[in-house]
Structure 1
């Protein structure tokens, strides 16, 4: 992944920070001269990252209170701490506010305003959708880096803390900010766009992620549409024409609308699309190839460097934006083909060699919802390998925030495993009774747990693991038992499942 990162905010003084966040400055002690330098500050919420010219934002979390780490930061060169109560023993100035998270958002908005007032062009691209945000962000950042300095989050910084931290990396030379905007309730993206108003709003898909929080798919669509309504005046909406709920957001746009999508199966162009893909196929490693068609350009053939047919739409979305901002189709195709690595735990392909087992790993364990799990299972099913038959193992954890439909959706995924010809399903619990009921629904949907003993030819083996450690042992046994075939393992589940830690263990 090729993307630039900022070296700190636009230049500002402590007095200006106090003004932006509506706070009160309290100096570290008598006899100390106030620091009136105007510098690019690194704004952090992790005290371990607080160093020279840093501004530490103390946030009280569920398990950790950042205020406990304020003393001693001054000795490390940190300029000030943003706090909601004064911390005794602090050796640096404190900026007192009512709410440090809200103040972080105000500071991010001020940084955006400062950059827009500074010389040189600056463009913010906001991305939302139920699936694909981070992969699309990674691909788009790599494309835009060919045109100028880019700031984009590492990983999935897309909420009321992660987004402003990313926006505060924007400095005087930044040309593009690629910003993820996620939501778990209506009104959240609207708040994010007030912090970081986008010039371009890219909407990927309306799915069922966070269904339990929203209550209905219609409410999810309403929440995602807030990014279009939050565009700067005359801003551009970039919409997935293949998703009716996304396509309908064109009615909310006050400026230009760009559309991207797949063509008909025979490659014909039956819609007026600004970006489209046709003649899709995949190689033995499930890396998709297609013909990229961009308005005003000759079609070009490309093969993605990352696996998964579902990533065609993510690449197409990134290509449509990048073309609009000045890249031609050939440079886009070349760069997309070069991308082998995106944010951690997202369709990352690697070889794992353990003392008692060897297999190819598809690590997509960052998070999970029904749409992304199906996409992962499609990739697992389509992978052909290069050295004979393949034994396919799906290691799946719980999907969270699905509300009353949670058990039903888990059962449907279990049935989908069987339909996709998966050889073994390892359903992973997390020693939580409520979560395990969802994993048991996954097992039921797959046909129930398998009988002990040898595998039955032509049938999917279904195993229940109480946690990631037991899943580890089960996968090793399955691979050893089927050593006459190439073993391919998909890891997919919510963070609570612990599967990303298992991926790190296998690859460490």
Structure 2
């Protein structure tokens, strides 16, 4: 973070200072006391299970010079605020305003959508990255999904005088979340990937989810650019809202009308897609273009669905000035950037593990299953270890049932369903025509471990996928490490 005094932190957050106003924060802003470095500001977030304020003394002992908290803490330098999360947002807003005032070239990208945010963020971060004067990167694009009211401000607060690009993802659990996050960062380029059914329990309908994604348009800087998925009717339907606000609209997709398009898409036996990246002349930059450009791209990411993520990242990068030829080259070199997202491990015993257990909704579940079916082909056995897709509301039973039926239609050879919340995947598979040797339901992770240890064999291609709260990412880690399901 750029250096701030305790007085400036208090002013930015509207807080009350119980410390020397001249104390300078020279280190990072963190919400995890284990990440404290000398000169840090520790944000003591109150939680359902633990109160960050209980860790404040340890944070100060480890080098934090200031604490942001909802109450005074005896003997510690504290900025007392009503709401720590909101104060983080206020602080991030002020710091970003200072960064932009010091260097108008700072560019902010925001990415939102029901699926694909983190992968697109990871790709875009690679496409636009440049070298800072100090030899480091001029781009901030964090590993993982820091897309909440806490994660996004913490990401922004990593900015320094060398920062020129911030690549951010915006998540939502309820209406208003994306609008709030966008108001903090005021992006120049906003990418909307898709409108699916993730978190539909809290929104009620896909139309309401589309409205939530559209909130980012109100946060764009005047004359900003909305990058919209032309393959998703609900996303493309937001174009009139963007133009009514005075923003430019640029589209990506596989349909012929898209400004940035994938043509001649093929998928190899490893599940990786290749395509021709076609960029319309009105979009391309950096002096490379007379008419439309066509450039070859071969992704290293597993899953045909990543073509859409790659197109989104490419569009935003080209609009920001990265040469299309550089975009194509970097897309073809990009490896997975965040854990538990279609991460492929080839084990010495011949088992291939596809760990996509960070999160799940019906759209991403279908995409992952299709990818594994392609990878297994006709010569290897496909195995799906699936858990609950959470926050689907009244449609949860039908959504899980449909996934079970798809497993059978894709000829997945073995289905292991883990946890009561996912039971209807097993039920759907049984109703579709599977039977006891092909699909099995287990109540918990330990039972899943026992089942996999007994059933997996060399040559299997194993998908692990569920919502993060289901805990199946632990199975993904263990399978990838070779400590689970070793062939006998």
Query: Could you tell me the TM-score, scaled by structure 2's length?
Result: 0.91
Structure 2 counterpart SS, 1:172:
coil
In 1: Cα distance, 2:59 partner to 2:335 partner = 38
Q: Distance in 1 between matches of 2:17 and 2:23?
A: 15
Could you tell me how far apart the structure 1 residues matched to 2:364 and 2:58 are?
44
Q: 1:53 to 1:147 in 2, by over 3 A?
A: closer
Q: What is the aligned partner in structure 2 of residue 506 from structure 1?
A: 479
Question: 1:492 aligned to 2:465?
Answer: yes
Distance in structure 2 (CA, Å) of the matches to 1:363 and 1:306: 12
The answer on whether the counterparts of 1:359 and 1:488 sit within 8 Å (CA) in structure 2 is yes
- CA deviation vs aligned residue, 1:321-374 (integer Å, no higher than 9, x gap): 111112222211111111122200000011234xxx641011100010000000
Structure 1 partner of 2:192:
203
Partner of residue 180, structure 2: 191
Question: Structure 1 residue aligned with 2:379, among 354, 371, 389?
Answer: 389
Report the TM-score when normalising by structure 1: 0.88
State the Cα distance separating 1:11 from its structure 2 match. Answer: 2.3
Aligned to 2:268: 283
Structure 2, gaps ≥5 residues long: 133-137, 282-288, 482-488
1:475–1:24 CA distance, 2 compared to 1 (3 A): same
**8 Å contact kept, 2:95–2:157:** yes
Question: Which of 297, 306, 331 lines up with 1:302 in the alignment?
Answer: 297
Specify the alignment match of 1:321 in structure 2. Answer: 316
Aligned positions of 1:106-125 closer than 5 A: 106-125=90-109
Match in the other structure for 1:458: none
Per-residue CA distance 1:307-328 (angstroms, 9 max, x = gap): 1000000000000111111222
What do the CA deviations read for 1:171-221 (whole angstroms, capped 9, x no partner)? 111110011001111111111111111111100000000111111111000
Mapped partners of 1:343, 1:137: distance in 2: 10
User: Contact 2:33–2:58 (CA<8 Å) still a contact in 1?
Assistant: no
> Which residue does 2:120 correspond to in 1?
136
Query: Aligned Cα RMSD in Å?
Result: 1.7
Does the CA-based 8 Å contact 2:408-2:434 persist in structure 1? no
Q: How does 1:80-159 map to 2 (within 5 A)?
A: 80-88=66-74, 90=75, 92-146=76-130, 149-159=138-148
Q: Give the unaligned 5+ runs of structure 1.
A: 1-8, 28-33, 264-269, 430-435, 456-460
Name 1:60's counterpart in structure 2: 46
Change (3 A) 1:58 1:115: same
Equivalents in 2 of 1:338, 1:262: separation in Å? Answer: 21
Give the secondary structure class of the aligned counterpart of 2:115: coil
1:49 matches 2:35: yes
Instruction: Answer yes or no: is the 8 Å Cα contact 1:277–1:291 preserved in 2.
Output: yes
How many residues are treated as equivalent by the alignment? Answer: 462
Q: Distance in 2 between matches of 1:98 and 1:446?
A: 50
Contact 2:376 2:382 (C-alpha < 8 Å) held by counterparts: no
Query: Displacement, 1:419?
Result: 1.0
Contact kept, 8 Å, 1:229 with 1:252, in 2: the verdict is no
CA-to-partner distance for each residue in 1:435-479, whole Å, 9 max, x for gaps?
x1x422111111159666xx5xxxxx0111211222223223222
SS in 1 for 2:238: helix
Equivalent residues of 1:202, 1:317 under 8 A apart? yes
Which residue of 432, 440, 454 corresponds with 2:423? Answer: 440
Q: Secondary structure of 1:376's match?
A: helix
Relative to 1, partners in 2 of residues 1:450 and 1:420: Cα closer, same or farther, differing over 3 Å? closer
